[in-house]
Amino acid sequence: MHVNTLYPIVHADVHFTRLEIHQLLDLSKKHYDGRCKAASQHGGILYGWNNMLGNEAGVDIDVEWKQLDLLCKIAEMENGCAMLGSMPLRGDLGTKLHGVIQQMRDRADVLCAYNDGLST
């Protein structure tokens, strides 16, 4: 057995305000996609994050790329706008999420370049 390639997984420690989580919950509940709807239901990530809030004004969450991608899909309903490829979303929430995606892409590029350097 041998390793062909190593892939870095980028996480982001993101602070979500109570308002942002509630906006995402609301958008999730109204979403056309079942996976997006599930995020706000019992056992879904937004349901869990809302429980984490307690009486706090916000919460810091370790977000993986896969979760962020789901959040962007949920937020596409904001202002009736969809995210196509790397086109930013129009709404404030979508713009913030797109900013986190860009930072994660930048970090992933650095890690991949470092990884490529190790293999040569």
Q: What is the mean pLDDT of residues 38-43?
A: 96
| Gap between the Cα atoms of 107 and 113, Å rounded | 10
The answer to whether position 6 is within a domain reads no
**Nearest residue to 71 via CA among 42, 33, 109, 43:** 33
The answer to whether position 97 is within a domain reads yes
The answer to whether position 41 is within a domain reads yes
Domain that holds residue 79: 11-119
The answer to whether position 64 is within a domain reads yes
Query: DSSP assignment, residue 15?
Result: E
Identify the bridge partners of residue 27 per DSSP, sorted by sequence position: none
Confidence (pTM): 0.75
The answer to whether position 3 is within a domain reads no
Residue 108, both tokens: 């992933």
Residue 74, both tokens: 């949920």
Q: Is the pLDDT of residue 87 over 50?
A: no
Q: What contacts 63, CB < 8 A, 6 or more positions away?
A: 11, 12, 13, 14, 71, 100
For residues 97 and 72, is the Cβ–Cβ distance under 8 A?
A: yes
Q: Is the pLDDT of residue 50 over 90?
A: yes
Query: DSSP assignment, residue 54?
Result: T
The answer to whether position 4 is within a domain reads no
- Name the pLDDT band for 81 (thresholds 50, 70, 90): very low
| Gap between the Cα atoms of 25 and 29, Å rounded | 6
The answer to whether position 16 is within a domain reads yes
Residue identified by tokens 């929430």 is 93
How much is the pLDDT for 59? 92
The answer to whether position 76 is within a domain reads yes
Count the domains in the chain. 1
